[in-house]
Structure 1
Amino acid sequence: MSQQKVLILGGQGRIGKSVAQDLLTHTDAEVTITGRTQKQIVSKPNLQFLELDLSEIKRLREAIKEANLVIHCAGPFHYRDETVLKTCIDEKVNYIDVSDHRSFYQKLVPYQEDAIKAGVTAVLNTGIFPGISNSIVRQGIEKLDTAETIHLSYVVAGSGGAGITVMRTTFLGLRNPFDAWLNSQWKTVLPYTEREVIQFPKPYGKTGVYWFDMPETYTFADSFNVKNVITKFGSIPDFYNHLTWITAHVFPKSWIESKKGIEFFSKVSYNMTSVTDNFSGIGVAMRAEIKGTKNNQKAIYSATMAHQDTAFAAGCGTGTIAQFILDGKINQPGVYPVEQVLSTDLFTLAMHSRGIQIEEQLT
């Protein structure tokens, strides 16, 4: 069998590089990373660079034609459209992305039938959150007889080591109210409101989290028969939470509705975290709590995970899906979120092989 080829769009960013490293570690694939200009010399076996601007549609199609799998890491996804997925479907090439906003998910889901007809497996929202978070929740749902409420919280230390694009994504997420699944209906929620203090694994401990629009807020309501889906996000050190709250609720709305405003806040925040990363670290922690029943009694499933490097963990989440698609263990034509394609058995195997520990409790 010839060597499989993986094309990583946006492969020079923090997340893209982490995905590439995971693939080089866990597969034998030949990996090509792309960028508008080459930022550093590529000198690893099975890794090469291709200069590519996603606006060059003809060259994009030519690059996709040569691949067995395309991984779209070129965010922020608020600004992206369905071009890459459509091209993958046209060329019958499997697709993964690291998108992190429901608006992008909603642009791509209508291509479900086209992907099925083309035999293309497309998995959206891979990474850490969304991504690993989706599989943790699926794992918990399967431990219960019935589930009623999913409460998913995340916290990132400093920049998370994930670059300025993630900063942009955070501020873009503050712009608009969003719909959350509460009491079996969609209700409007304001971003960065209703602070809760959550106990995360060491070394993060207790910290504040706030309502935040994540793809899971939307996809869990479709994937699982539950009444409530709550997704909250926070930062360490905690004063970043207060600064973000001020940005969302005190500054003029026009400041975060313009690209210039988003860019300003993102660069200021990134410069601040370049200092605080030295003592806060760049890690991530998650806690999933699912309330339901087990053996006709009320039960609560809780799971936590933590890692010292957010970008590395995101690479593990995306690399897991890529590995199993290349191996043929995930072969499900259509367009899906992670929780609808990755079995708990495969997820557990992948996390173990990557040294990511998930602590579970059922009470």
Structure 2
Amino acid sequence: MSEKVLIIGGRGRIGSSVAKDLANFTDAKITITGRDPAAANNPMPAPGVQYLALNLTDHEAVRNAIKGCKVVVHCAGPFQYRDANVLKTCIDEGVNYVDVSDSRGFTSRALELKETAKKADITAVINTGIFPGISNSMVRQGVEKLDEAERIHLSYVVGSSGGAGLTVMRTTFLGLQNPFDVLENGNWKQVKPYTGRETIEFPAPYGKTGVYWFDMPEAFTLPDTFPQAKTVITKFGTAPDLYNHLTWFVANLWPQSWVKNSAVVEFLSHVSYNMTKVTDTMVGTGVAVRSEVNGIKDGKPTTFCSTVVHNSAAVATGIGTGAIAELILKGKLQKPGVWPQEQALATDLFEHLMASRQMPVQEQWL
């Protein structure tokens, strides 16, 4: 019999992309969820995918949906708004778990359940997708190329909407609300979101693009994973560059009471989404990630740089998350506990998965 996979939030663009990837690479019986019962009448992401109307506030219904599954994939963001109830329920029911979380607070709450998950013998991999996710594994790959890693610099750029819908817009504006801690030269310091612009050379079609400090869970999971690194930088930007300047304006010149107002966040998300309907046709909806790890190799200072690019950020996220779920389904990734991707996924498996998805990581020594 086929193993059962439940994709919570699978009706959205990210969840649908995960469903498509799993349908392509496994024979799992896939159920996607959404809040609207009428969505059952809409086309499914892939043949054989079933739909279940589910509200995450109904804990008993969530528990019943999770029972009997091999893997649950949590795609119902923004994760700034989510508690860890889905993960807790998976642990209670002995079901493996994967998510696309990108929130510092949610990541911390999930990691608090590590020992409980170990005792339940379930594997939970958080922060999967493209960034975080594939980006984390790119860093691990770079660290392992060196004898000693000293500095990690991760940069991301997304074209227009990224093809990912309103949820990603909300996530971006929620990420502007609070300063956050980063590791620099061995010391933790606080930075403001969307400051510290740098110009980074990404693969085509992006080229030189501005990126800014942005609060990602990698900013604290990577220092934990690779304690020899004294600096970890995570910066994000968008194309066209006009969006960077508009976002900088909101983050740095608007009153904090506005930036933290939920109605304002919702307004900005809808305005931005409508703007991207135009720019999507101009610059595309792709994504690029650049990982640069500085350190020592054979007694000499050196830098290992890797890049990956895809023409759809939503599809790339589906690939990154679907690949992890595939490994768990097939018994190739068994590590009881709760782990960010770079702690769960070995580099040889990562490289195999990227090759199988025809999404090669370009490598370069600088």
TM range (shorter): over 0.9
Out of 331-340 and 37-46, give the one that drifted further: 37-46
Q: Return the offset for 1:193.
A: 0.5
Aligned pairs for 1:203-214 within 5 A: 203-214=205-216
Structure 2 residues without counterparts, runs of 5 or longer = none
Is residue 2:82 matched to residue 1:70? Answer: no
Correspondence list, 1:50-129, <5 A: 50-129=52-131
Per the TM alignment, residue 293 of structure 1 is displaced from its structure 2 partner at its CA by 0.5
- 1:206 partner letter: K
1:41 CA displacement = 3.3
Does the 8 Å contact 2:91/2:117 carry over to 1?
A: yes
Residue 275 of structure 1, aligned match among 275, 278, 290: 278
**1:186-244 Cα distance to aligned partner (Å, 9 max, x none):** 11011100100001001111110000010111100100021000000000000100000
Q: Which residue of 1 aligns with 2:173?
A: 171
| In 1, Cα distance between equivalents of 2:291 and 2:331 | 29
The alignment status of 1:249 with 2:252, answered yes or no, reads: yes
Aligned to 2:319, which of 316, 319, 333? 316
Q: Distance in 2 between matches of 1:279 and 1:42?
A: 28
Q: Does 1:332 align with 2:335?
A: yes
Query: How many positions carry a matched residue from both structures?
Result: 362
The equivalent residue for 1:31 is 30
Runs of 4+ in 1 over 2 A off after TM superposition: 41-46
Q: Cα distance, 1:139 vs. partner?
A: 0.4
Question: Alpha-carbon deviation of 1:271?
Answer: 0.5
Counterpart for residue 8 of structure 2: 9
3-state SS of 2:141 partner? helix
CA contact (8 A) 1:29 1:46 kept: no
- Counterpart of 2:281 in structure 1: which amino acid? N
Pair 1:189–1:43, CA change in 2 (3 A): closer
Distance of aligned partners of 1:43 and 1:108 in 2 relative to their CA distance in 1, 3 Å threshold: closer
Alignment match of 1:198 (pick from 197, 200, 213):
200
Secondary structure at 1:17 match in 2: helix
- For the residues of structure 1 that align with 2:339 and 2:352, how far apart are their CA atoms? 21
Q: What is the identity, as a one-letter code, of the residue corresponding to 2:275?
A: M
> Do 1:8 and 1:20's aligned partners in 2 also have CA atoms closer than 8 Å?
yes
Are positions 1:258 and 2:261 aligned together? yes
Deviations 1:270-303 (A, max 9, x none): 0000111011100001111111000000010001
**Residue type of the alignment partner of 1:145:** D
- Match runs of 1:145-156 below 5 Å: 145-156=147-158
Using the alignment, how far apart are the partners of 1:332 and 1:180 within structure 2? 28
The SS at the match of 1:235 is: strand
Q: How far did 1:46 drift?
A: 3.0
Secondary structure of 2:112's match? helix
- Secondary structure of the residue aligned to 1:175 is coil
Normalized against structure 2, the TM-score is what?
0.98
Q: Which amino acid aligns with 1:323?
A: E
Change (3 A) 1:209 1:44: closer
Unaligned runs of 5+ in 1: none
Secondary structure of residue in 2 paired with 1:28: coil
Determine if the alignment matches structure 1 residue 346 to structure 2 residue 349.
Answer: yes
> What TM-score do you get using the length of structure 1 for normalisation?
0.98
Residues of 2 paired with 1:313 and 1:45: CA distance?
Answer: 20
Q: Which amino acid aligns with 1:251?
A: W
Letter in 1 for 2:3: Q
User: What RMSD, in angstroms, separates the aligned Cα atoms of the two structures?
Assistant: 0.9
CA distance in structure 2 between the partners assigned to 1:57 and 1:271 by the alignment: 34
**Residues 2-57 of structure 1: per-residue CA shift (max 9 Å, x gap):** 21000000001110000000000001101000001143133843310001101111
Percentage identity across paired residues of the two chains: 58
Distance of 2:114 and 2:44 partners within structure 1: 36
